[in-house]
Amino acid sequence: MTDTASDALRRARLLEEACDFVGAARAALEGGDARLAARLAALGQDEGSFADAERMLCASPQTLSLTANDLASRGLHTFAGRLFELGKEDLRAGESFAAAGDPARAALAFERAGKPAEGARALERALRDDSGNDALRLALAELLARHGRLEPAVRALQAIRAGTEERARALPLLARTLASLGLTEAAREVEGEMKQLGLDSPPRSERPDRTSVGPASGSSAARRVLFGRFEVVRDVARTPHAHVVQAIDRVTTQEVAVKLLVSLNRGAGRDAQIRFEREARALLRLRHPSMVSLVAYLPEGPAMVLEWMSGGSLADLMQKNTFAPARAAEIAISVLGALGEAHRLGILHRDVKPTNVLFDEIGSPRLADFGAAHFGDLSTTVTAGAIGTFSYMAPEQREGKAAGVQSDIYATGAILYEMLTGEHAEPQEGGFLERPPSAYHEDLGPRHDEVVATLLAFDPRDRPEDTFAARRLIEGLTWSTRVLPRTGPQSGRTRSSRPPEAGQRLVAPQRVTDPRDAARTLFDVVFERNVLVLPLDEPGLRLASAFARADHASLALVLRASQADGEIWIEPPRGMALADGARKLDPAQVERLRAALAALHAQGGAHGAIDAEHVYLEGDAVVLTFPRELRDGATPNRDVADLAALVG
């Protein structure tokens, strides 16, 4: 600290003792102590000095949060709320503004935090104390309408007194909401009142079309309207199972994205519906500033109405731009924040990739697409096709093993590595052997390399224990704000974001250890191992799904199930079958087999071939392989009886 800065801070302390908080705040600013300046400015109600302190605090998110908490503890709630807002701690901001007696601002903060009900309660409490406050009533109605609660929104709007400024502002929303509820005569009366006041009437909704999502063109009146409410602006994306359109919500006038499921056929279509409904369930539970929020779920579509992200995807930006390391770190931290909330609620994302990171109009990243999400015990195995995109899949997912919290952390690390280097990541053992991020940007060093390597560790146990630990690793370093032309080491290896097609990926097997499986064993060139390839039919898929969901160490591993290729891949048995002279099972191994069967039965599966040719020993490990032939009449009771007969 320079002598000038030290003198300024001493002066700030003296002025504070004299209760000259305004002068003290300005002196603290001269001394470069933004945290002290913010506190003094708040005590002195000095808006100018506080704004200067805010700008300084933005450079350090950790100091910003500490200062906000300090102000809140001192009862300086309005100023604390402003700092919480800056730090995107919207829940704390809402609590501070509510404590400061600013319910309208509190409601907006609660809404951004994904807790609109808290915002509505704050406004309702304020209205009980000040029933004549039409500005609060209008704010409540707008919040309710944004979240599809149209009937209470209408009641709040109708209670706003005639002749007030708020009544004039409320009328367009009241007309749109009444029309959306089908109350056309009431909507016409409101439009008549609007005409008397010289206000424009809202556009009339057309008869709802619940299926067609063709590109919109021409005037607003010619645009297609979905569900009587969402006016299609343009077609954004199409897949075999879903269409996404940009639309205008005629009730709230906000831009939204409407995602419609368009295939309900058997097979793949059914899987698409399950994934679609899974995404909706996840988003109904998840509310976080770094997630794309679900505005409404329309089961009659089915369709999801989502926040509109006008900034595009991270994949788009990575094709156009080179990122400053600080920006790359900021995006990774936001993704980890969203994942942390999901993990707290027992939800894995399992498909974190650049196309699923979207940006709002101010460039804030939001995590999207929870269609691959898994609920419950935070672990599952792929059972209906590869979940996740190859370059961002953790090693355990690529091998068909159970995904976990660390799998989502790996994917975030892969995104961070790609933003820093422009190349796809690879799993790391013992640090980067080649192509470290520091080789691409001169402001990065070994500590940055170490953090990214930790996120990308091959073994999940070597990655951070949770997303909060991962965030601390990234936040613990200074990341350069410079954007430099990208250069870096070159390698003869060709990297691809997609695995080879199955026809190129499987070749003749190597070292088939059991001739029983020779006819169905092939070698996977991606993971350099043999796999058992079975035809995918309904009974086989059901049993493979039960094997995967059971996720027991004594059951053969299901590596892949692809509707497109019509194949199920199973891990080949290792060791020696009991039928080939392996030693007898000891009591612990028998107990493990019983537990494996119990897990399989709990998932709705029955093996049907519990015999000496399907039980393998390798050291102390015992494994029940997948049945070589599915047998009619397989039941859990039959499995239990066959195991008892096998072990004598």
Of 1.10.510.10, 3.30.1490.100, 3.30.9.10, 1.20.1560.10, the CATH number of 502-647 is 1.10.510.10
pLDDT value for 620: 81
Lowest mean pLDDT among 105-114, 339-348, 351-360, 395-404: 395-404
pLDDT in tens, 599-631: 899 888 999 999 999 999 888 888 999 998 888
HSE, side-chain direction, 13 A CA sphere, residue 133: 16
pLDDT value for 379: 38
* Long-range contact set of residues 514-519: C-beta below 8 Å, sequence gap at least 24: 514/572, 514/573, 514/577, 516/613, 516/628, 517/572, 517/573, 517/628
**Structure tokens belonging to residue 601:** 């039965």
Pairwise pLDDT comparison (182 vs 314), residue with the higher score: 314
Of 156, 132, 130, give the one whose Cα is nearest residue 143: 156
Of 53, 54, 60, 45, give the one whose Cα is nearest residue 27: 53
Tally of residues, the chain = 648
Beta strands 242-249 and 506-507, pairing class: unpaired
For the chain, residues classed under CATH 3.30.200.20 are 220-307
pLDDT band at 272 (very low <50, low <70, confident <90, very high): low
pLDDT band at 382 (very low <50, low <70, confident <90, very high): very low
| 17 alpha carbon, distance to own chain's centre | 49
pLDDT value for 455: 94
pLDDT in tens, 335-381: 999 898 888 878 888 889 998 899 887 788 888 887 555 544 333 43
pTM above 0.75, yes or no: no
Sign of CA dihedral 403, 408, 409, 411: positive
Pairwise pLDDT comparison (200 vs 476), residue with the higher score: 476
What is the b/e burial string over 153-164, where b = at least 16 CB atoms within 10 angstroms of the residue's CB? bbebbeebeeee
Of 1.10.510.10, 3.30.1360.70, 1.10.357.10, 3.40.718.10, the CATH number of 314-475 is 1.10.510.10
Q: Are 360 and 393 in contact (CB under 8 A)?
A: no
pLDDT value for 206: 42
Q: Across the strands, what pairs with 260? A: 243, 303
Pairwise pLDDT comparison (454 vs 547), residue with the higher score: 454
Beta strands 615-618 and 576-577, pairing class: antiparallel
CATH hierarchy code of domain 3-194: 1.25.40
Statement: residue 551 has pLDDT above 80: no
What is the CATH topology of the domain spanning 220-307? Phosphorylase Kinase; domain 1 (3.30.200)
Max Cα separation, the chain? 96
Of 4, 3, 38, give the one whose Cα is nearest residue 21: 38
Q: Are 141 and 116 in contact (CB under 8 A)?
A: no
Of 176, 198, 199, give the one whose Cα is nearest residue 188: 176
CA angle 607, 609, 613 (to 5 degrees): 130
pLDDT in tens, 472-491: 999 989 999 888 877 666 54
Pairwise pLDDT comparison (538 vs 529), residue with the higher score: 538
Rounded Cα gap, residues 497 and 491, in angstroms: 16
Rounded Cα gap, residues 614 and 625, in angstroms: 5
For the chain, residues classed under CATH 1.25.40 are 3-194
pLDDT in tens, 50-74: 989 988 888 888 888 889 988 988 8
Q: Which helix (H) or strand (E) holds 577?
A: strand 576-577
For the chain, residues classed under CATH 1.10.510.10 are 314-475, 502-647
Lowest mean pLDDT among 93-97, 256-260, 382-386, 498-502: 382-386
Phi-psi region of 367 (alpha: psi -120 to 50; beta: other; left: phi over 0): beta
Phi, psi for 398 (deg, rounded to 5): -60, -30
Alpha helices by DSSP H, listed for 208-307, are 268-285
Mean pLDDT score of the chain: 81
Pairwise pLDDT comparison (6 vs 329), residue with the higher score: 329
Statement: residue 267 has pLDDT above 50: no
